[in-house]
Amino acid sequence: MEYKQRTKPTELEILGILDARMELSEKDQQHYVNLKKGYEGELAFDELTRKLTCDCLVLNDLLLQVGSTTFQIDTLIIADMIYLFDVKNHEGDYYYDKDRIYTKTNYEISNPINQITRTESLLRQLLQPLGIPTQINSSVVFINSEFTLYHAPIDKPFILPTQVNRYIRKLNKVNSRITNNHKALADKLVSLHLTKSPFMQLPKYEYGELRKGVVCRGCGSRKMFIKWTNCICKNCEAIEGLEDVILRNIREFRLLFPNDKLTTHSIYNWCGEIASMKTISRILEINFKTVGARRWTYYK
Ligand SMILES: [Zn+2]
């Protein structure tokens, strides 16, 4: 049972917005692509764990802290023991040599075993003072069906693409019964989850230099026009309610500029003047709390 859902990481969301509104440097672009790929891999694994019918609690995406060390868990499953998973979405041919992993062109990537070992140790340290004696079983899941790892050692906790489904079926057969203690543990972990990641790597950006206007949710095109109460994409003909488009863009504005005041004028400008000031002000009034009056009005 999915006990905690995964949400799109803020860093990924912000990078997606920035990608549509400015030219990202090659480094930022690469970082964005990697994050997106990693997230897609995690979602693919979520789809499999969602099918589990055994008595278990699935906690997706936890960001926890022990002392001053912050660590992240892709998937944690509470069943007959705790199962920890680090999900990797690498694609292509890789090889394993003396505890290191390389691409076919001899470019070394970090070995996820080191990461999962560290995560397991930190989780143990977190659970110790809570007096929870638990066995932890950690694995690295390579979720991408186009991934090959030559010379993969048999004694490492890798779950290769050809083994993922079998692993899930095996996990489904474990003899577990979720008690109130398990639920208390899950609640405790969820309560300790940090929502603000200290690992965000974002480029510098300023309001003035970002492109204004709305982009199509479906294809990313900027060729949008209004017809009645809808916004239509000239490129892919997708239709989205105007209010939804404006709200989506308000959300973007707030994510990027959390300290800026939300005003009719700022959103009118941010949306590239696609809707009238009157429409924007009505949408803000309905969906947010009005503070102040007349030309000093802003929304919360
Ligand atoms: Zn479109």
Q: How far is the CA of 223 from the centre of ligand 1 (A)?
A: 8
Compute the average pLDDT of residues 45-53: 96
Residue 204 in domain: no
Give the per-residue pLDDT at 293. Answer: 80
Sorting pLDDT into bands at 50, 70 and 90, what band is 197?
A: confident
Q: How far is the CA of 24 from the centre of ligand 1 (A)?
A: 21
Residues 80, 150 within the same domain: yes
Compute the average pLDDT of residues 229-253: 95
Q: How far is the CA of 241 from the centre of ligand 1 (A)?
A: 13
Compute the average pLDDT of residues 15-25: 95
Give the per-residue pLDDT at 196. Answer: 85
Residue 139: is its pLDDT beyond 90? Answer: yes
Compute the average pLDDT of residues 270-298: 90
Compute the average pLDDT of residues 117-135: 89
Q: How far is the CA of 216 from the centre of ligand 1 (A)?
A: 5
Is beta strand 147-150 parallel, antiparallel or unpaired with respect to 136-142?
A: unpaired
The pair of three-digit structure tokens given for residue 240, joined into one six-digit string = 């989205």
Residues 294, 245 within the same domain: yes
Residue 235 in domain: yes
Considering its fold, how many domains does the chain have in total?
2
Orientation of helix 242-256 relative to helix 277-287, angle to 10°: 70
| Lowest-pLDDT range of 26-35, 39-48, 290-299 | 290-299
Give the per-residue pLDDT at 294. Answer: 75
- The Cα-based distances of 29 to 37, 40, 106, 125, 179 in angstroms read 12, 16, 23, 36, 46
Q: How far is the CA of 244 from the centre of ligand 1 (A)?
A: 15
Residue 120 in domain: yes
Residues 186, 216 within the same domain: no
Residues 186, 291 within the same domain: no
Residues 66/125, Cβ–Cβ less than 8 Å: yes
Give the per-residue pLDDT at 8. Answer: 94
Give the per-residue pLDDT at 232. Answer: 96
Identity at 109, one-letter amino acid code? I
**CA atoms of 236 and 175, how far apart (whole Å):** 50
Q: How far is the CA of 7 from the centre of ligand 1 (A)?
A: 24
Residue 37 in domain: yes
Residues 165, 62 within the same domain: yes
Sorting pLDDT into bands at 50, 70 and 90, what band is 132?
A: confident
Q: How far is the CA of 58 from the centre of ligand 1 (A)?
A: 35
Sorting pLDDT into bands at 50, 70 and 90, what band is 199?
A: confident
Residues 110, 217 within the same domain: no
Residue 206 in domain: no
- Looking at the chain, the whole-number percentage of residues with pLDDT higher than 70 is 100
Compute the average pLDDT of residues 72-101: 97
Give the per-residue pLDDT at 31. Answer: 96
The DSSP annotation for the chain comes to -EEE-----HHHHHHHHHHHHS---HHHHHHHHHHHHHHHHHHHHHHHHTT--SS-EEEEEEEEEETTEEEEEEEEEESSSEEEEEEE---EEEEEETTEEEETTS-EE--HHHHHHHHHHHHHHHHGGGT----EEEEEEE--TTEEEET--TTS-EE-TTTHHHHHHHHHT------HHHHHHHHHHHHH--SS-TT-------GGGSPPS---TTT--S-EEEETTEEEETTT--EEEHHHHHHHHHHHHHHH-TTS-B-HHHHHHHTTT-S-HHHHHHHHHHHS-EES-GGG-EE-
Q: How far is the CA of 252 from the centre of ligand 1 (A)?
A: 18
Residue 78: is its pLDDT beyond 80? Answer: yes
Q: How far is the CA of 212 from the centre of ligand 1 (A)?
A: 17
Is beta strand 82-88 parallel, antiparallel or unpaired with respect to 290-291?
A: unpaired
Residue 198 in domain: no
Q: How far is the CA of 224 from the centre of ligand 1 (A)?
A: 8
Q: How far is the CA of 245 from the centre of ligand 1 (A)?
A: 12
Residues 153, 274 within the same domain: no
Q: How far is the CA of 239 from the centre of ligand 1 (A)?
A: 8
Give the per-residue pLDDT at 42. Answer: 98
Q: How far is the CA of 184 from the centre of ligand 1 (A)?
A: 46
Q: How far is the CA of 235 from the centre of ligand 1 (A)?
A: 5
- DSSP state for residue 100 in the 8-state scheme: E
Which tops the pLDDT comparison, 291 or 158? 158
Enclosing domain of residue 52:
2-192
Give the per-residue pLDDT at 296. Answer: 76
Residues 243, 187 within the same domain: no
- Looking at the chain, the whole-number percentage of residues with pLDDT higher than 90 is 90
User: How far does CA 34 lie from the centroid of its chain?
Assistant: 12
Out of 164, 192, 220, a domain closes at: 192
Residues 17, 152 within the same domain: yes
Compute the average pLDDT of residues 17-42: 96
- DSSP state for residue 142 in the 8-state scheme: E
Out of 192, 222, 245, a domain closes at: 192
Residues 136, 230 within the same domain: no
Q: How far is the CA of 117 from the centre of ligand 1 (A)?
A: 44
Residues 173, 217 within the same domain: no
Residues 143/161, Cβ–Cβ less than 8 Å: yes
Residues 251, 153 within the same domain: no
